[in-house]
Every structure is written in structure tokens, then in C-alpha cells.
Amino acid sequence: MVYAIHPVWGTTQRPESLRYGLYQVSSQGEVEIARALRLESVETLRQHLLNHSNTK
């Protein structure tokens, strides 16, 4: 699996509303699978998913 992390804003007029989205990437595009306030939280989840998919 391939995953991407992108910053996500509700509106550009409210930069304090910045969140981070975790996306699953495929040939059909990207699908958001999680969103968090902290980049570290999304990265931890991404690492967990990558490690889980490597053990199969």
C-alpha cells in the first residue's frame, strides 16, 4: 500500500483550523482514511498501517 499525508484546511481564512489527513493512494486516486490535529498522530498511524501490511 502507498499512503500520503497532506495538510488540510477547513478554509483558507482560518489557518488555525489546520489538520493533517492520511490518504490511501491507488491508481484511482486518493481516499482520506484519517484526519488529526497533530502530524505526529497521522505519521504514527501511517507507520502502523505500513508495518501491518508488511507482515502479511
Nearest to 36 by CA among 12, 15, 7: 7
β-strands 2-8, 19-26 pairing: antiparallel
- Domain borders along the chain are 2-54
How many whole angstroms from its chain centre is CA 52? 16
Give the CA dihedral 26, 30, 33, 38, nearest 10 degrees.
120
> What does the pLDDT read at residue 40?
96
For strand 29-36 and strand 19-26, is the pairing parallel, antiparallel, or unpaired?
Answer: antiparallel
The H or E element spanning position 46 is helix 39-54
Task: Summarize pLDDT for 1-56 with one digit per residue, the tens.
Answer: 899 999 988 766 777 788 999 999 999 999 999 999 999 999 999 999 999 877 66
Full-model pTM: 0.80
